[in-house]
Amino acid sequence: MKLRVISPSKSLSIIDKSVIDQATKKLNSLGYEVYIAENAFCTQKFYECGTIEKRIEDINNAFKSDADIIMTSIGGYNCNQLLPHIDYDLIKNNPKKLCGFSDITALLNAIYAKTGIITYYGPHFSSFGMKKGLEYTVRHFINIFDKGHDEIDNSKYYRDDLWFINQENYNKRINRGMVVLNSGEAEGTILGGNLCTFNLLQGTEFMPNAKSIILFLEDDSESAENFLLEFDRNLESLMQTEIWNNVTAMVIGRCQIASKMTIEKWKKLFSTKKNLKNIPIIINANFGHTTPIVTIPIGGHAIISKEGKIKMEG
Protein backbone atom coordinates (compact mmCIF):
# COMPACT_ATOMS: atom_id res chain seq x y z
CA MET A 1 0.00 0.00 0.00
CA LYS A 2 1.28 3.44 -0.94
CA LEU A 3 0.64 6.60 1.05
CA ARG A 4 1.35 10.10 -0.23
CA VAL A 5 1.74 13.09 2.13
CA ILE A 6 0.52 16.55 1.04
CA SER A 7 0.36 19.93 2.80
CA PRO A 8 -2.86 21.74 1.77
CA SER A 9 -2.79 23.71 5.02
CA LYS A 10 0.39 24.32 7.05
CA SER A 11 3.70 23.15 5.67
CA LEU A 12 5.42 19.95 6.72
CA SER A 13 8.47 22.15 7.38
CA ILE A 14 7.06 23.14 10.79
CA ILE A 15 7.23 19.50 11.94
CA ASP A 16 10.45 18.36 13.61
CA LYS A 17 12.45 15.80 11.62
CA SER A 18 12.31 13.33 14.51
CA VAL A 19 8.48 13.37 14.34
CA ILE A 20 8.55 12.92 10.55
CA ASP A 21 10.92 9.99 10.92
CA GLN A 22 8.80 8.40 13.66
CA ALA A 23 5.59 8.85 11.63
CA THR A 24 7.22 7.28 8.58
CA LYS A 25 8.52 4.38 10.67
CA LYS A 26 5.10 3.77 12.23
CA LEU A 27 3.26 3.85 8.90
CA ASN A 28 5.90 1.56 7.37
CA SER A 29 5.20 -0.92 10.18
CA LEU A 30 1.50 -0.82 9.24
CA GLY A 31 2.36 -1.76 5.67
CA TYR A 32 2.44 1.65 4.00
CA GLU A 33 5.18 2.97 1.74
CA VAL A 34 5.37 6.69 2.50
CA TYR A 35 6.00 9.24 -0.25
CA ILE A 36 6.17 12.96 0.53
CA ALA A 37 4.83 15.33 -2.13
CA GLU A 38 7.28 17.60 -3.92
CA ASN A 39 5.92 20.82 -2.40
CA ALA A 40 4.99 19.53 1.05
CA PHE A 41 7.79 21.51 2.75
CA CYS A 42 7.13 24.79 0.87
CA THR A 43 6.32 28.03 2.66
CA GLN A 44 5.76 31.65 1.61
CA LYS A 45 6.17 35.03 3.26
CA PHE A 46 3.59 35.68 6.01
CA TYR A 47 2.14 32.17 5.60
CA GLU A 48 3.23 28.81 7.00
CA CYS A 49 2.12 27.10 3.82
CA GLY A 50 3.02 26.85 0.15
CA THR A 51 1.45 29.00 -2.54
CA ILE A 52 -1.97 28.08 -3.87
CA GLU A 53 -0.36 26.89 -7.10
CA LYS A 54 2.11 24.57 -5.36
CA ARG A 55 -0.50 23.11 -3.03
CA ILE A 56 -2.90 22.49 -5.93
CA GLU A 57 -0.07 20.87 -7.90
CA ASP A 58 0.53 18.42 -5.06
CA ILE A 59 -3.18 17.61 -4.74
CA ASN A 60 -3.48 16.93 -8.48
CA ASN A 61 -0.32 14.84 -8.57
CA ALA A 62 -1.42 12.85 -5.52
CA PHE A 63 -4.75 11.90 -7.09
CA LYS A 64 -3.06 11.06 -10.41
CA SER A 65 -0.47 8.91 -8.63
CA ASP A 66 -0.63 5.23 -7.73
CA ALA A 67 -1.11 6.07 -4.05
CA ASP A 68 -3.82 4.20 -2.15
CA ILE A 69 -4.10 6.82 0.59
CA ILE A 70 -3.43 10.56 0.64
CA MET A 71 -2.70 11.99 4.07
CA THR A 72 -2.27 15.61 5.09
CA SER A 73 0.83 16.78 6.97
CA ILE A 74 -0.99 18.84 9.59
CA GLY A 75 -3.87 21.33 9.91
CA GLY A 76 -3.55 25.09 10.25
CA TYR A 77 -5.27 27.78 8.20
CA ASN A 78 -6.35 28.74 4.67
CA CYS A 79 -7.04 25.33 3.17
CA ASN A 80 -10.27 26.87 1.82
CA GLN A 81 -8.13 29.05 -0.50
CA LEU A 82 -7.73 25.96 -2.65
CA LEU A 83 -11.36 25.00 -3.17
CA PRO A 84 -12.12 27.05 -6.33
CA HIS A 85 -8.90 25.83 -7.99
CA ILE A 86 -9.24 22.07 -7.48
CA ASP A 87 -9.85 19.80 -10.48
CA TYR A 88 -12.81 17.84 -9.11
CA ASP A 89 -13.23 15.87 -12.33
CA LEU A 90 -9.66 14.63 -11.92
CA ILE A 91 -10.45 13.53 -8.36
CA LYS A 92 -13.70 11.86 -9.39
CA ASN A 93 -11.92 9.89 -12.10
CA ASN A 94 -9.03 8.93 -9.80
CA PRO A 95 -10.62 8.29 -6.39
CA LYS A 96 -8.29 8.01 -3.41
CA LYS A 97 -8.78 7.86 0.35
CA LEU A 98 -7.94 11.33 1.70
CA CYS A 99 -7.41 11.71 5.46
CA GLY A 100 -6.77 14.67 7.79
CA PHE A 101 -8.59 16.89 10.28
CA SER A 102 -8.97 20.42 11.65
CA ASP A 103 -8.49 22.96 8.80
CA ILE A 104 -8.63 20.03 6.35
CA THR A 105 -12.41 19.96 7.09
CA ALA A 106 -12.90 22.37 4.19
CA LEU A 107 -11.14 20.12 1.69
CA LEU A 108 -12.78 16.90 2.90
CA ASN A 109 -16.33 18.23 2.73
CA ALA A 110 -15.78 20.09 -0.55
CA ILE A 111 -14.50 16.95 -2.28
CA TYR A 112 -17.48 14.96 -1.01
CA ALA A 113 -19.87 17.73 -2.13
CA LYS A 114 -18.38 17.98 -5.63
CA THR A 115 -17.60 14.32 -6.34
CA GLY A 116 -19.57 12.12 -3.94
CA ILE A 117 -16.31 10.45 -2.89
CA ILE A 118 -16.06 9.62 0.83
CA THR A 119 -13.21 11.40 2.62
CA TYR A 120 -11.87 10.80 6.12
CA TYR A 121 -11.73 13.04 9.17
CA GLY A 122 -8.88 11.36 10.98
CA PRO A 123 -5.20 11.52 11.85
CA HIS A 124 -2.66 13.61 9.96
CA PHE A 125 0.63 12.12 8.83
CA SER A 126 2.26 13.95 11.75
CA SER A 127 -0.17 12.28 14.19
CA PHE A 128 1.66 9.00 13.61
CA GLY A 129 4.82 10.60 14.97
CA MET A 130 3.50 10.13 18.51
CA LYS A 131 5.49 7.46 20.35
CA LYS A 132 3.11 6.86 23.28
CA GLY A 133 -0.67 6.64 23.41
CA LEU A 134 -1.24 6.01 19.68
CA GLU A 135 -2.74 2.50 19.88
CA TYR A 136 -6.42 3.56 19.90
CA THR A 137 -5.93 5.95 16.97
CA VAL A 138 -4.20 3.25 14.92
CA ARG A 139 -6.83 0.62 15.72
CA HIS A 140 -9.71 2.82 14.58
CA PHE A 141 -7.79 4.03 11.53
CA ILE A 142 -7.33 0.39 10.47
CA ASN A 143 -10.98 -0.44 11.19
CA ILE A 144 -12.23 2.17 8.72
CA PHE A 145 -9.52 1.91 6.08
CA ASP A 146 -9.19 -1.89 6.01
CA LYS A 147 -12.62 -3.12 7.15
CA GLY A 148 -14.83 -0.24 6.00
CA HIS A 149 -16.73 0.02 9.27
CA ASP A 150 -16.16 0.94 12.92
CA GLU A 151 -17.88 1.61 16.22
CA ILE A 152 -16.78 4.48 18.43
CA ASP A 153 -15.82 3.24 21.88
CA ASN A 154 -14.30 5.02 24.86
CA SER A 155 -10.55 5.06 25.34
CA LYS A 156 -9.42 4.64 28.94
CA TYR A 157 -7.14 7.66 28.71
CA TYR A 158 -6.66 10.75 26.59
CA ARG A 159 -3.98 13.39 26.30
CA ASP A 160 -4.08 17.12 25.62
CA ASP A 161 -0.44 18.16 25.61
CA LEU A 162 2.40 19.24 23.35
CA TRP A 163 3.54 15.65 22.98
CA PHE A 164 5.94 16.49 20.13
CA ILE A 165 8.11 18.62 22.44
CA ASN A 166 8.85 15.80 24.88
CA GLN A 167 7.93 12.35 23.60
CA GLU A 168 8.94 10.64 26.85
CA ASN A 169 6.47 12.66 28.94
CA TYR A 170 3.23 10.70 28.53
CA ASN A 171 0.78 13.04 30.24
CA LYS A 172 -2.34 10.85 30.14
CA ARG A 173 -5.67 11.79 31.68
CA ILE A 174 -8.68 9.66 32.63
CA ASN A 175 -11.33 9.78 29.92
CA ARG A 176 -14.85 9.96 31.35
CA GLY A 177 -16.22 8.69 28.04
CA MET A 178 -19.11 9.72 25.85
CA VAL A 179 -22.14 11.32 27.45
CA VAL A 180 -25.63 11.10 25.97
CA LEU A 181 -27.39 14.43 26.46
CA ASN A 182 -30.40 13.61 24.30
CA SER A 183 -31.13 9.92 23.75
CA GLY A 184 -32.76 8.51 20.65
CA GLU A 185 -32.17 6.61 17.45
CA ALA A 186 -30.88 8.14 14.23
CA GLU A 187 -29.08 7.27 11.05
CA GLY A 188 -27.80 9.28 8.14
CA THR A 189 -24.90 10.63 6.14
CA ILE A 190 -21.90 11.86 8.12
CA LEU A 191 -20.91 15.49 7.55
CA GLY A 192 -18.90 18.03 9.56
CA GLY A 193 -15.52 18.09 11.26
CA ASN A 194 -14.07 21.26 12.73
CA LEU A 195 -17.08 23.53 13.27
CA CYS A 196 -15.55 26.93 12.52
CA THR A 197 -13.91 25.56 9.36
CA PHE A 198 -17.09 23.75 8.26
CA ASN A 199 -18.92 27.07 8.56
CA LEU A 200 -16.54 28.62 6.00
CA LEU A 201 -18.40 26.57 3.39
CA GLN A 202 -21.73 28.29 4.05
CA GLY A 203 -23.18 29.89 0.94
CA THR A 204 -20.65 28.19 -1.37
CA GLU A 205 -20.94 25.35 -3.85
CA PHE A 206 -18.63 23.38 -1.57
CA MET A 207 -21.08 22.89 1.30
CA PRO A 208 -22.36 19.30 1.17
CA ASN A 209 -25.91 18.23 1.92
CA ALA A 210 -27.86 14.98 2.26
CA LYS A 211 -31.42 13.80 2.90
CA SER A 212 -30.54 12.73 6.45
CA ILE A 213 -27.45 14.11 8.19
CA ILE A 214 -25.61 13.17 11.35
CA LEU A 215 -23.27 16.02 12.18
CA PHE A 216 -19.91 15.27 13.78
CA LEU A 217 -18.57 18.55 15.18
CA GLU A 218 -15.59 19.66 17.25
CA ASP A 219 -13.49 22.77 17.74
CA ASP A 220 -10.13 23.68 19.21
CA SER A 221 -9.51 25.84 22.27
CA GLU A 222 -8.10 28.95 20.56
CA SER A 223 -10.97 30.95 22.07
CA ALA A 224 -10.00 29.52 25.52
CA GLU A 225 -12.49 30.54 28.23
CA ASN A 226 -14.79 31.96 25.53
CA PHE A 227 -15.15 28.53 23.90
CA LEU A 228 -18.81 28.16 24.87
CA LEU A 229 -19.69 31.54 23.35
CA GLU A 230 -17.68 30.88 20.19
CA PHE A 231 -19.10 27.39 19.70
CA ASP A 232 -22.62 28.69 20.35
CA ARG A 233 -22.48 31.39 17.70
CA ASN A 234 -20.88 29.06 15.16
CA LEU A 235 -23.51 26.41 15.81
CA GLU A 236 -26.27 29.01 15.65
CA SER A 237 -24.95 30.17 12.28
CA LEU A 238 -24.99 26.61 10.97
CA MET A 239 -28.53 26.08 12.27
CA GLN A 240 -29.70 28.99 10.14
CA THR A 241 -28.58 27.31 6.90
CA GLU A 242 -30.50 25.04 4.56
CA ILE A 243 -28.71 21.84 5.55
CA TRP A 244 -29.98 22.05 9.12
CA ASN A 245 -33.43 20.96 7.92
CA ASN A 246 -31.92 17.53 7.30
CA VAL A 247 -29.93 17.09 10.54
CA THR A 248 -31.14 14.08 12.54
CA ALA A 249 -28.45 13.85 15.24
CA MET A 250 -25.26 15.49 16.47
CA VAL A 251 -22.03 14.03 17.88
CA ILE A 252 -19.59 16.41 19.58
CA GLY A 253 -15.88 15.65 19.88
CA ARG A 254 -13.93 15.93 23.12
CA CYS A 255 -12.89 19.47 24.05
CA GLN A 256 -9.40 20.59 25.00
CA ILE A 257 -8.81 21.42 28.64
CA ALA A 258 -8.32 25.13 27.93
CA SER A 259 -11.92 25.37 26.71
CA LYS A 260 -13.09 24.77 30.30
CA MET A 261 -16.20 23.04 29.02
CA THR A 262 -18.31 20.92 31.36
CA ILE A 263 -21.45 18.82 30.96
CA GLU A 264 -23.40 21.61 32.64
CA LYS A 265 -22.12 24.14 30.10
CA TRP A 266 -23.07 21.87 27.19
CA LYS A 267 -26.55 21.41 28.65
CA LYS A 268 -26.94 25.16 29.01
CA LEU A 269 -25.78 25.79 25.45
CA PHE A 270 -28.17 23.25 23.95
CA SER A 271 -31.08 24.37 26.16
CA THR A 272 -31.07 27.74 24.38
CA LYS A 273 -31.92 26.06 21.05
CA LYS A 274 -35.43 24.68 20.81
CA ASN A 275 -34.85 22.74 17.62
CA LEU A 276 -32.18 20.61 19.33
CA LYS A 277 -34.57 19.12 21.88
CA ASN A 278 -35.83 16.33 19.64
CA ILE A 279 -32.60 15.00 18.14
CA PRO A 280 -30.00 12.69 19.72
CA ILE A 281 -26.93 14.54 21.03
CA ILE A 282 -23.77 12.82 22.26
CA ILE A 283 -20.76 14.71 23.59
CA ASN A 284 -17.14 13.85 24.45
CA ALA A 285 -16.56 11.42 21.60
CA ASN A 286 -12.99 10.53 20.65
CA PHE A 287 -12.27 13.02 17.86
CA GLY A 288 -11.00 16.57 17.73
CA HIS A 289 -7.86 18.31 18.95
CA THR A 290 -6.96 15.87 21.72
CA THR A 291 -5.75 12.30 21.29
CA PRO A 292 -6.62 9.52 20.72
CA ILE A 293 -9.08 9.92 17.85
CA VAL A 294 -11.25 7.79 15.60
CA THR A 295 -11.34 8.10 11.81
CA ILE A 296 -14.69 9.43 10.60
CA PRO A 297 -15.87 8.85 7.01
CA ILE A 298 -17.25 12.14 5.65
CA GLY A 299 -20.07 11.10 3.34
CA GLY A 300 -20.22 7.69 5.02
CA HIS A 301 -23.15 6.30 6.99
CA ALA A 302 -23.70 6.45 10.76
CA ILE A 303 -26.22 4.75 13.01
CA ILE A 304 -26.89 5.90 16.58
CA SER A 305 -28.75 3.61 18.98
CA LYS A 306 -30.92 4.56 21.98
CA GLU A 307 -28.05 3.47 24.23
CA GLY A 308 -25.70 5.95 22.56
CA LYS A 309 -23.69 3.49 20.47
CA ILE A 310 -22.29 4.99 17.27
CA LYS A 311 -21.55 2.78 14.28
CA MET A 312 -19.99 4.08 11.07
CA GLU A 313 -19.55 2.71 7.57
CA GLY A 314 -17.57 4.19 4.70
Residues annotated as catalytic (active site), given as ranges? 102, 218, 289
Cβ pair 275, 264 in contact under 8 A: no
Task: List Cα–Cα distances, 217 to 234, 250, 282, 298, in angstroms.
Answer: 11, 7, 10, 12
Cβ pair 156, 291 in contact under 8 A: no
The CA distance from 42 to 6, in Å, is 11
Cβ-based burial of 311 (10 A; exposed 0-12, middle 13-18, buried ≥19): middle
Cβ pair 39, 53 in contact under 8 A: no
| Nearest by Cα to 159 from 147, 149, 173, 148 | 173
Would you report the helix, strand and coil content of the chain in percent, each value rounded to 5? 35, 25, 40
The CA distance from 152 to 102, in Å, is 19
Cβ pair 137, 312 in contact under 8 A: no
Per-residue burial over 205-231, b if 16 or more Cβ lie within 10 Å, else e, is: ebbbebeebbbbbbbbbebeeebbebb
